[in-house]
Structure 1
Amino acid sequence: MINKNWWEKEVIYQIYPKSFKDSNNDGIGDIQGIREKLPYLKELGITTVWICPIFTSPMVDNGYDISDFEGINPEFGTMADFDQLLKDANKLGIKVILDLVINHTSDEHPWFQEALKDKESPYREYYIFKEGKTEPNNWRSIFGGSVWEKLPNEDTYYFHAFDKKQPDLNWENPKLRQEIYGMINRWLEKGIAGFRIDSITFIKKDQDFSSLPADGVDGLASCKSKTRNRPGIERFLNELKEETFEKYNCVTVGEAPGVPYEEYGDFIGDGGYFSMIFDFNYSDIDVESGSDWFKRTNWTTKEFKEKLKRSQEVLQANGWGANFIENHDQPRAVSKFIKPEFQTNEAAQAIGMLYFFLRGTPFIYQAQELGMQNAERKIIDQFNDISSIDNYYRSIQEGFTPEEALGFVNQRSRDNTRTPFPWDASQYGGFSDTTPWLSMTEEYPNRNAQSNPVLAHYKQMIALRQHGAVSDVLTNGTIVFLDNVPDNVIAYKRVLKDRVVYCYTNLSDTEELVSLDAGSIDLFLNSHDDLVSETNDVKLHPYQSILFKKINEVNGNGN
């Protein structure tokens, strides 16, 4: 019998191909580099890899601007290379999922080029064009500036929610939608296991295209409230599922920002659009808005705990979640969640344990398992990420000094997780024999994939979830957050019938005393080398996490 929910058992590893492993020494990671490192992923315990875009692209947004959905970008290799990677991964029992970017294309896509040539071209209907002497409205794009770009020889503008070189597709056009579905099905026929679906909540725009009250000194307003998860999107998402994903036993992971919790059932419930979606409510706790990095917050562990608890409860009530603490759009978790003086291997292990044993499928972003930290850059010219450059200049525009603006960008830059993977302590970290496309993190000679305690700890975490004595509890058990703990401690239990496993994490820079209400415990995993215990109490070090069961506990009645 085919297991329709096979993805609940997976551990998914996200690969940023440009920075994973360079096989031909041009300074850019590639498909053969991924293939070379499959044994490393197998040893780590990974069962599925998600590879960020490898499609033909001018790389304005590092591959999220696609000029051919069914071509491989030459800097990554060829389709033959990909076929070989898929075959080798399958031999090792590793599934492959790809990024699906269907909200927009590159402006170099043949469809858009045809649309530019002739205003009567049917391809004009594949994108969103508006005639006029001025911009149709005051919406600000996600990467800054107007969402409208004027055509050079016409009083006509085209729409782009992201960069001007990423024109949005017109999902109101059924012919365009059928072209998209055909492409998706051809990839699934090739044998990939599914997709992570990029910015999917942006495919439906409010058709009034009316202006909004300005929310910045530029006189513009964020386009999100008119372009993200808008009424009518359900028709597109249902059709997408029925025409493609439903026909295959594949996994779909939606990047679905802007979805209110009361709509999660539509997205991940029985008959939902996707297998699971990412929830950004807790991951973006350090900023008021994911796209305005200068709006920092002074978040507390208590606030983070409440957001995490709410997220898990909603996911559990509606379906399945995709749990993460890092990705290609987020900074490094150690730098983000842990005070500077405590950014140690033990703290990296603790933050890993905190999220890894939540209910849902755990995602690991490349080099997260090494305890990597943010890369500090001294001048804006050292950044590659277009969002970082936009946020730097917007911060200055909003009244901050260049030094303050650089500080915001260093904390939040997407380049933080895009630095080349440090495989060893040699020059360029064994990533390449030549200067990489993006400079390495300064710490790499001391933090790499050789003799790394954090890496060893991640292997233990994965083995525990996948094959350990309490694997079924950690995978299938319900989750209950515990209230009788200090504000700085995040504690939850996973319960399956009469079996209970507890995870306690002190997410603060002070020692915390917690009562376990148990005579003795069986410790499965500890982020630190020691555990200070007194009768029914334990004293958790700053940023310490423990996973355990209470000996002789029956029916999950422990607190």
Structure 2
Amino acid sequence: MNIEMKDKKWWEKEVIYQIYPKSFKDSNNDGIGDIQGIREKLPYLKELGITMIWICPIFTSPMVDNGYDISDFEGINPEFGTMADFDQLLEEANELGIKVILDLVINHTSDEHPWFQAALKDKESPYRDYYIFKKGKTEPNNWRSIFGGSVWEKLPDEEVYYFHAFDKKQPDLNWENPVLRQELYGMINRWLEKGIAGFRIDSITFIKKDQDFASLPADGVDGLASCKSKTRNRPGIEVFLNELKRETFEKYNCVTVGEAPGVPYEEYGDFIGDDGYFSMIFDFNYSDIDVESGSDWFKRTNWTTKEFKEKLKRSQEVLQANGWGANFIENHDQPRALSKFIKPKYQTDEAAKALGMLYFFLRGTPFIYQAQELGMQNAKRKTIDQFNDISSIDNYYRSIQEGFSPEEAMSFVNQRSRDNTRTPFPWNDSQYGGFSTTTPWLAMTEEYPSRNAQQNQVLAHYKKMIELRQQGIVSDILTKGTIVFLENVPDNIVAYKRVFKETEVYSYTNLSDTEELIPLEKGVFDLLLNSHDDLAVEGNELKLHPYQSVLLKKINEVSRNGN
């Protein structure tokens, strides 16, 4: 069933919940989450108040990169279930008013995809032009892949290399080939015909490569250079993205959420404007503030709240000027926000609520990553063999190669590992947290007996946030209103107001471990939401505890006097 709405920007009103299916709920007790597990928990999601779920890849895959290495775009991986299971999930979600979007991974496939296997078997096969092959006795250049090592992998029986921006088992598709592009468009349209609401589109800015394939100055002791400057958001990508939109998304009233790293702010209008390639995109400029590069975790930064605030302000202003944004603080590639943004002593339920409030009322569509609503923290692992994530393993060994000790390398990986948000969802305090009755594929965090989906005050707070945005008295302001960041506040305070017609809502968050006094604008305010149990007002100043957030509605004179 296709979405039929007059409003072409219906997705601005949504609250989207990201599900990592392998870790959400195991229905058949094999230690791996599955589609029936998601279906079982639809009532939980409905009660939470979300309106759409984004399901990370459930397609046929060898699971080298947990499903982002697809061997059949239109098959369901057996560990997750069957297509009949998915159809049942889609139908029941729609009955509950919950839309479903899927991950679209079209920069690369698995090396076990039939196209790639056909290309390997016959050098004259037309499928060889579906990928990027180069002849040579040595690697064609010195580019480093996102997951470490050369982007080139030699074929065993030929002096030929194939290109992979990510893992060697994820060969990149050759978007220069129009036949390949049409194959992808047909697949996309068949999923949309099935009735999904749209896609989150993975690594889409990597589909255009500089065709000179020239080497770069080395930027690491391995003698290699990051491939990003030659493979991400390169000139000519607009031809591919416009064609993709025209051949697929434009034919349906669907939502598209681009993972579009490397796009400079001056190009945001091309991506999310009225005629943009996508409905919205994620901006990683503020979320990656703790590292110099999202793929080099050993390059840590000593960021300040002032710097974070400036990045967030710039992001929101650019998004507002050009279109719409996808707001998040956690996802499957990020650590837990509580562990990243909050100092250890203050990683409490109240701080988790405050972080939620800080981002949830920004202008844009809010995304919630599974178990974020429980106030989850990072899992601390002691040895590298406890990690599943290939990026974590690469960063550990690259850190040592760059001169750090094994202890330092382990610290970097524990802080930044993608496995931090991939631990199984703790539904209750029983063994394995009610996720499964058998040992899960990835170890639970140690906190699950006390932090789970039962009697959880962070969860209760998220329900209030969602209700306030979706059905509350300030719903119009929080969904349609403009955003203005407030300047007359201390450096440790992130403050902004949302404005719609004559109404204003103010958000103040103390993102520090010290108490802060904040001058209030003149007027009378109603307290809409508070991360803590108390709120101190001294004269015309708010006094916020460390990591406290409040949301206030300004009462104008007309409404006060009842006129």
Q: Under a length normalisation based on structure 2, what TM-score does the superposition of the two structures give?
A: 0.98
Residue in structure 2 matched with residue 69 of structure 1 by the alignment: 73
Q: Is 1:528 aligned to residue 532 of structure 2?
A: yes
Distance 1:53 1:553, change over 3 A: farther
Q: Is 1:139 aligned to residue 150 of structure 2?
A: no
**2:271 counterpart (238, 258, 267):** 267
> Matched residues in 1 for 2:214 and 2:321: separation?
36
> Matched residues in 2 for 1:257 and 1:306: separation?
19
Residue in structure 2 matched with residue 497 of structure 1 by the alignment: 501
Q: Which runs of 5+ in 1 are unaligned?
A: none
> Matched residues in 2 for 1:200 and 1:538: separation?
44
Q: Is 1:44 aligned to residue 48 of structure 2?
A: yes
Which amino acid in the other structure matches residue 183 of structure 1?
M
- Work out whether residues 204 and 232 of structure 1, in 8 Å CA contact, stay in contact via their aligned partners in 2: yes
Which amino acid in the other structure matches residue 530 of structure 1?
D
Deviates more, 1:51-60 or 1:527-536: 527-536
Q: Is 1:3 aligned to residue 7 of structure 2?
A: yes
1:244-270 deviation per Cα after TM superposition (whole angstroms, max 9, x unaligned): 000000000000000000000000001
Q: Is 1:356 aligned to residue 360 of structure 2?
A: yes
**1:324 counterpart (328, 333, 336):** 328
Q: Is 1:193 aligned to residue 197 of structure 2?
A: yes
Counting only pairs closer than 5 Å after superposition, residues 96-495 of structure 1 correspond to structure 2 as 96-495=100-499
Residue in structure 2 matched with residue 13 of structure 1 by the alignment: 17
Alignment length, in residue pairs? 555
**C-alpha displacement at 1:309, in angstroms?**
0.1
Deviates more, 1:526-535 or 1:24-33: 526-535
1:284-316 deviation per Cα after TM superposition (whole angstroms, max 9, x unaligned): 000000000000000000000000000000000
**C-alpha displacement at 1:519, in angstroms?**
5.0
Residue in structure 2 matched with residue 541 of structure 1 by the alignment: 545
- Work out whether residues 99 and 196 of structure 1, in 8 Å CA contact, stay in contact via their aligned partners in 2: yes
- Work out whether residues 498 and 554 of structure 1, in 8 Å CA contact, stay in contact via their aligned partners in 2: no
> Matched residues in 1 for 2:281 and 2:73: separation?
23
SS of 1:459's equivalent?
A: helix
> Matched residues in 1 for 2:554 and 2:57: separation?
45
RMSD between superposed Cα atoms in Å:
0.8
Write out the 4+ residue segments of structure 1 that deviate beyond 4 Å after TM superposition: none
Which amino acid in the other structure matches residue 80 of structure 2?
F
> Matched residues in 2 for 1:175 and 1:332: separation?
41
Deviates more, 1:177-186 or 1:542-551: 542-551
**C-alpha displacement at 1:463, in angstroms?**
0.0
**C-alpha displacement at 1:520, in angstroms?**
3.4
Which amino acid in the other structure matches residue 239 of structure 1?
E
- Work out whether residues 135 and 157 of structure 1, in 8 Å CA contact, stay in contact via their aligned partners in 2: yes
**C-alpha displacement at 1:518, in angstroms?**
3.3
Residue in structure 2 matched with residue 551 of structure 1 by the alignment: 555
**C-alpha displacement at 1:550, in angstroms?**
2.3
1:31-87 deviation per Cα after TM superposition (whole angstroms, max 9, x unaligned): 000000000000000100000000000000000000000000000000000000000
Q: Is 1:86 aligned to residue 94 of structure 2?
A: no
**C-alpha displacement at 1:551, in angstroms?**
2.6
SS of 2:297's equivalent?
A: strand
**C-alpha displacement at 1:2, in angstroms?**
1.6
- Work out whether residues 503 and 554 of structure 2, in 8 Å CA contact, stay in contact via their aligned partners in 1: no
SS of 1:364's equivalent?
A: strand
**C-alpha displacement at 1:535, in angstroms?**
1.7
> Matched residues in 2 for 1:237 and 1:177: separation?
11
Residue in structure 2 matched with residue 510 of structure 1 by the alignment: 514
**C-alpha displacement at 1:552, in angstroms?**
2.6
> Matched residues in 1 for 2:309 and 2:354: separation?
15
> Matched residues in 2 for 1:531 and 1:165: separation?
54
SS of 2:463's equivalent?
A: helix
Deviates more, 1:545-554 or 1:163-172: 545-554
**C-alpha displacement at 1:500, in angstroms?**
0.3
**C-alpha displacement at 1:504, in angstroms?**
0.3
Residue identity over aligned pairs, in percent, reads 88
> Matched residues in 1 for 2:161 and 2:234: separation?
22
SS of 1:353's equivalent?
A: helix
> Matched residues in 1 for 2:113 and 2:429: separation?
41
> Matched residues in 1 for 2:320 and 2:555: separation?
27
**C-alpha displacement at 1:507, in angstroms?**
0.2
- Work out whether residues 520 and 536 of structure 1, in 8 Å CA contact, stay in contact via their aligned partners in 2: no
> Matched residues in 1 for 2:89 and 2:523: separation?
51
SS of 1:464's equivalent?
A: helix
SS of 2:497's equivalent?
A: strand
Which amino acid in the other structure matches residue 405 of structure 2?
T
Which amino acid in the other structure matches residue 253 of structure 1?
V
> Matched residues in 1 for 2:26 and 2:273: separation?
40
> Matched residues in 1 for 2:123 and 2:196: separation?
38
> Matched residues in 2 for 1:88 and 1:233: separation?
38
SS of 1:90's equivalent?
A: helix
> Matched residues in 2 for 1:494 and 1:97: separation?
28
Which amino acid in the other structure matches residue 227 of structure 1?
T
> Matched residues in 2 for 1:15 and 1:497: separation?
36
- Work out whether residues 515 and 536 of structure 1, in 8 Å CA contact, stay in contact via their aligned partners in 2: yes
> Matched residues in 2 for 1:463 and 1:198: separation?
30
> Matched residues in 2 for 1:186 and 1:483: separation?
49
- Work out whether residues 4 and 249 of structure 1, in 8 Å CA contact, stay in contact via their aligned partners in 2: yes
Deviates more, 1:515-524 or 1:78-87: 515-524
Q: Under a length normalisation based on structure 1, what TM-score does the superposition of the two structures give?
A: 0.99
